[in-house]
Amino acid sequence: MSKMLLEVTDLRKHYPVRAGVLRRQVGTVHSVDGVSFSLGAGETLGLVGESGCGKSTVARSVLRLVEPTSGQIRLDGEDITHLSKTALRPHRRSMQIVFQDPFASLNPRMTAGDIVGEPIAVHGLATGQALEARVAQLFEQVGLRPDQMRNFPHQFSGGQRQRICIARALALEPRLIVCDEPVSALDVSIQAQVINLLIDLQKQHGFSYLFIAHDLAVVAHISHRVAVMYLGRIVEIAGKDELFRNPRHPYTQALLASVPIANPLAKKLAPLVDGDVPSPVNPPRGCAFHTRCRFAMERCRTERPVLKGNEHQVACLLNEGTGRGQ
């Protein structure tokens, strides 16, 4: 197997739930509950799932923005799970993040040029004219004009602000960029511009994306492989085409059937699941999806399925016997 840029093994992040005057712990939120995946160099792994399923917590744990409860994160083979702040510093350069809200994530009092140049200055990589030139180059790479460096965030449109965030993420020449819903706040026509930009930049620089979104079509477009999360766990992971053409997990199937297709002649919406996502506080025992699953068997209520398979992995007891779920 080729060397992996990022390897996440059995990652867990649990938060205590406290209540009452004494702030006694009354439960545990299982935000991330045993997630494992790997990401190759130059590859894009899409992470999809509904709100609260733990996508963003996975992203933030990978970057060590939140401390995982347990599990291991390896970057380039090196275990970074417990590195101290100083020891982590060189690795911080190689991992960057782009957030959903291009409005909230930019300091309104800094010029766009300073925002993009800041990480370069902080890491002491360039100053003065050299810094200026590097920032201008980054502006051009993301489709902004260098003369816009002097403008403030409010003078940019939503799509342009997201370009500023991307330029800032590129500044340190990272090898991994975590994109947490990077286009969700943008209009469709602008969304397309940003998606194309991300794909072009990957082709030029060869970095990897961990791409998080709730929009399956966007994920399908940009990813090489896709992982589907439900209540803190990955329930299915496969190559993009394989996953979308041959979804095996009943949840993946339901998710796909819920996407309205932009073709009036295509099949009408057929919701395959009832009910809501259960709370991640004290989630269901066994398979977390069994409360909404059309195929749930007795075993599913008690036995927790694990991811099985090689290229196409599914965590579903129904799939275990037959190799497929229908």
Partner 1 sequence: MADRSDLVLDVKNLKTVFFTNSGLFKAVDDLSFTVKRGETLAIVGESGCGKSVTALSLMRLVPDPPGRIVDGSVLLEGTDLLALNETEMRKIRGNRISMIFQEPMTSLNPVIRIGDQIIEAVRLHRNLSSREAKDIAVEMLRLVRIPEPARRAKEYPHQLSGGMRQRAMIAMALACRPALLIADEPTTALDVTIQAQILALILDLQKELGTGLVLITHDLGVVAQAAQRVIVMYAGRKVEEAGVEALFAAPRHPYTRGLMASIPAVPAPGVAAPARLNEIPGTVPSLVRLPKGCAFAPRCPLAVKRCEAEYPPLTDWGGGHLAACWRAADVAEVA
Interatomic CA distance for residues 79 and 231, integer angstroms: 26
Q: Does 29 help bind partner 1 (rule: CB under 8 A)?
A: no
Interatomic CA distance for residues 284 and 304, integer angstroms: 10
The structure tokens 């800032």 sit at 168
Question: Which sign, positive or negative, has the C-alpha torsion 16, 63, 277, 70?
Answer: negative
Interface residue with partner 1, options 268, 310, 321, 322 (CB under 8 A): 268
Least distance from partner 1 to the Cβ atom of residue 170, Å: 20
Structural tokens at position 53: 């399923």
* Residue 144 host element (H or E): none
* Site for partner 1, residues 73 to 102, rule: CB under 8 A: none
- Collapsing DSSP to helix, strand or coil, 17 comes out as strand
Q: Does 65 help bind partner 1 (rule: CB under 8 A)?
A: no
Q: Does 237 help bind partner 1 (rule: CB under 8 A)?
A: no
Interface residue with partner 1, options 58, 212, 227, 254 (CB under 8 A): 254
* Site for partner 1, residues 39 to 58, rule: CB under 8 A: 50-51
Q: Does 260 help bind partner 1 (rule: CB under 8 A)?
A: yes
For partner 1, what does the binding mask look like between residues 157 and 196, x meaning CB under 8 A? x-xx--------------------------xxxxxxx-xx
Strand order in the sheet with 4-19: 24-40, 4-19, 70-75, 78-79
Q: Site for partner 1 (CB under 8 A): how many residues?
A: 48
For partner 1, what does the binding mask look like between residues 115 and 154, x meaning CB under 8 A? ----------------------------------------
* Site for partner 1, residues 200 to 229, rule: CB under 8 A: 214, 216-218, 220-222
**What is the crossing angle of helices 158-170 and 188-205, to 10°?**
20
Least distance from partner 1 to the Cβ atom of residue 164, Å: 14
Structural tokens at position 27: 């439960």
Structural tokens at position 222: 């940009």
Among residues 74 and 214, whose Cβ is nearest to partner 1?
214
Question: Which sign, positive or negative, has the C-alpha torsion 133, 135, 197, 36?
Answer: positive
CA distance to 12, 70, 72, 209, per residue, from 44 (Å): 22, 25, 20, 5
Structural tokens at position 207: 């970095």
Interatomic CA distance for residues 110 and 153, integer angstroms: 8
Among residues 120 and 194, whose Cβ is nearest to partner 1?
194
Among residues 12 and 225, whose Cβ is nearest to partner 1?
225
Among residues 256 and 306, whose Cβ is nearest to partner 1?
256
Interface residue with partner 1, options 35, 227, 277, 307 (CB under 8 A): 277
Interatomic CA distance for residues 272 and 311, integer angstroms: 26
Least distance from partner 1 to the Cβ atom of residue 202, Å: 12
Residues that bind partner 1 (CB under 8 A): 50-51, 157, 159-160, 187-193, 195-196, 199, 214, 216-218, 220-222, 240-241, 244-245, 254-266, 268-274, 276-277
